[in-house]
Amino acid sequence: MRCLLVRVGSKSYSLASYSKITGQMVRTSSSSLSNNPLVTDKAFIDGKWVEARNKVTFEVSDPATGDCLGNVPDMSASDTLKAIDAAKKAQRGWAATPLKERSGMLMRVKQLVDEHSEMLAEIMTLESGKPIAESRGEVKYGNSFFEWFAEEAKRIRGDILLHPIKRDSRYLIVRQPVGVAALITPWNFPLAMITRKAGAALAAGCSVVIKPAEDTPLTALAMAKIVEKAKLPSGVFNVVTCSRSNIEEVGDTLCKSKDVRKLSFTGSTAVGKHLYSLCSSTVKRISLELGGNAPFIVFNSADVDNAIAGAMSSKFRNTGQTCVSTNRIFVQSTIYDTFCSKLSEAVKKLKCGPGIDPTSSLGPLINNRAVIKVKEHVDDAVSRGASVKVGGAPATELGPNFFHPTLITDVPKDALVHRDETFGPMAAVTKFETEEEVIEMANSVDVGLAGYVYSSNAAQIFRVSEALQFGMVGVNEGIISSELAPFGGLKESGIGREGSIYGIEDYLDLKYINLNF
């Protein structure tokens, strides 16, 4: 069942938006999503659009307005087993598909995503709250993985070694797909986290069972629509949707199944650790892309304006809800006041509003729990002596899930934000004196995903970027993700790498064959 959705003024926006005339939230009865051909209320298993076995559904809502966007199947263990079975049956045929043909099908998916980019962006913005310009950017970024891995499918290599003793013998080393891969993805990049995994898995010859986040299943199902149009064989790409009430049993089924040989998970460190332990029962290959707590270090020699631009994009993109978001800004003492005052001016220019409104630079947070968490981080820092320079409170006038873009300064190093990801639009600045001091503070967390360094001193750049215990470091650069670069973290930020020439390795097993003639 689908809900009636919104119309704003004379514009036929999707479900919900705001009336700029009255300043009030309005609900009317039209929706461009209701005409969006990629929107569905069924899950995708074995090439068919299916309900949950018990017919139960759950609602997907717009975090900007709370309006219902639709309902999708609330699947359980039995549905998940059906998807695993379909993926298992399809996998051998897929792996045997000639490389050029497999690559061609992935390229067809890429072309279809391009053709449907506006529809995908709209779905993403409505279900995740992301500003529409960022959703358009995510479609391009996400699709770059299908393009990249369509090419990489043709470059899976092996080796032949001479036998060390026997003249006519050889050692043959081949790479083979691991088999069925389960892909569990988060809501903050509803499309790119699927394509970054599925692009590599499918290129390697694996079939996939995808479990998208409860908050953003419509984008995952829209991708399944595209895969169907691209005519990938049935069972190669499956999407199982479920609500938080069923996630334990669906997660258990994926992790404990002997037929699933690989789990790739992106999400919180806490859930990642839990899934890691579940996967031990079948000794599965595992990739974990987990949380971060990125330091953003600005040395006295830095170009301050460039550092401000980098801090703004790495902190406030997706309303601060990215794993590589700057969490702790460290600024050296000589430029501290200038930096804080310029950052304050930049933060004041941000505009909070529904993502579907193209003038919004920040959308809502994913839900009210996220708003509460940001407020806790602000209050904790203030209670320890920090000052609020901009914002600092929920934007309740816009709705329950909005938070004003916030800047706090003089944040002490025992503040909560120095230990925990805020995952929201709060920039927290701390002053430092020496290089040694800042490296120690930056590395003092258990996670190690992304870090940023701003300096014009070449020797310092090498020293600091190599000393940082983070999997990715941006030097004088605030946007670091690319399909060419290996994405992943150190320490408790995870295991494995996505994208790049290394990403496909996570879906390939090495086999050695001793050839004796």
Nearest distance from C-beta of residue 495 to ligand NAP, angstroms: 11
Distance, first Cα to last Cα, the chain: 65
Backbone angles phi, psi at 387, to 5 degrees: -115, 140
Nearer to ligand NAP, 253 or 455 (CB): 253
Catalytic residue among 122, 138, 147, 289: 289
Nearest distance from C-beta of residue 513 to ligand NAP, angstroms: 35
- Rounded Cα gap, residues 189 and 146, in angstroms: 15
Nearer to ligand NAP, 321 or 406 (CB): 321
| 289 given a catalytic annotation | yes
Q: Counting beta carbons within 10 angstroms of the beta carbon of residue 484, is it exposed (0 to 12), middle (13 to 18) or buried (19 or more)?
A: exposed
Nearest distance from C-beta of residue 366 to ligand NAP, angstroms: 8
Catalytic residue among 323, 483, 492, 498: 323
Under 8 Å between Cβ of 143 and 195: yes
Q: Which residues bind ligand NAP (CB under 6 A)?
A: 184-189, 211, 213-215, 244, 247-248, 251, 266-268, 271, 274-275, 289-292, 323, 421, 449, 489, 494
CB atoms within 10 A of CB 496: 20
Q: Helices 77-96 & 247-256, crossing angle to 10 degrees?
A: 40
Nearest distance from C-beta of residue 274 to ligand NAP, angstroms: 6
Nearer to ligand NAP, 69 or 461 (CB): 69
| 249 given a catalytic annotation | no
Residue nearest to ligand NAP (CB): 251
What is the dihedral angle through the alpha carbons of 212, 216, 218, 219, rounded to the nearest 10 degrees? Answer: -80
Residue written as tokens 């579940």? 278
Nearest distance from C-beta of residue 422 to ligand NAP, angstroms: 11
- Rounded Cα gap, residues 152 and 196, in angstroms: 13
Q: In this structure, is the dihedral angle defined by the CA atoms of residues 31, 224, 500 and 262, taken in order, positive or negative?
A: positive
Nearer to ligand NAP, 247 or 309 (CB): 247
Could you say which DSSP state residue 11 is in? B
Nearest distance from C-beta of residue 161 to ligand NAP, angstroms: 36
28 CA to centre of own chain: 32
Q: Which helix (H) or strand (E) holds 237?
A: strand 237-239
Nearer to ligand NAP, 230 or 468 (CB): 468
- Rounded Cα gap, residues 326 and 344, in angstroms: 16
Active site residues: 289, 323
